[in-house]
Amino acid sequence: MVASNAEIRVEKSELIERLKAEMGYSEEEAARVVDAMLESITESLSKGDKINLPGIGTMAVVEHAPRKGEDPHPGREIKFSPGKRLKDALTSLDFITKSLE
């Protein structure tokens, strides 16, 4: 649990380091795993798929008016800024994302 409102960021390099430490992967192996996961997530979202990561959450592309998200912990705002690759993949779509069921 986080005790402050400080922003918490997990960088790609941290994910790689975690894989190296916990799985015994080399730097190259860990980087390939992280890259493959990120590529898979980006590809799935760009096709309009819904991604469910148990214990983490669900991701899907939906269109709605901009709004401010609120963390279940009072006073903490939720922010998500998609990276350039994800933005490019999503803006290149020629379909309207199917609604979530």
| Predicted TM-score (pTM) of this structure | 0.56
Task: From residue 20, give the alpha-carbon distance in Å to each of 29, 54, 65, 85, 92.
Answer: 8, 23, 41, 25, 35
Q: Say if CB 28 and CB 19 are below 8 A apart.
A: no
Q: What is the pLDDT of residues 2-61, one digit of tens each?
A: 445 456 678 899 999 999 999 999 999 999 999 999 889 888 888 888 888 887 778 888
- Tell me the pairing of strands 69-70 and 57-59: unpaired
> Quick check: 98 pLDDT over 50?
no
Q: Which tokens belong to 98?
A: 């199917």
Residue 80: closest CA among 98, 96, 62:
62
Q: Strand, helix or coil at 53?
A: strand
Is 12-91 CATH 4.10.520.10?
Answer: yes
Residue 67: pLDDT band with limits 50, 70, 90? low
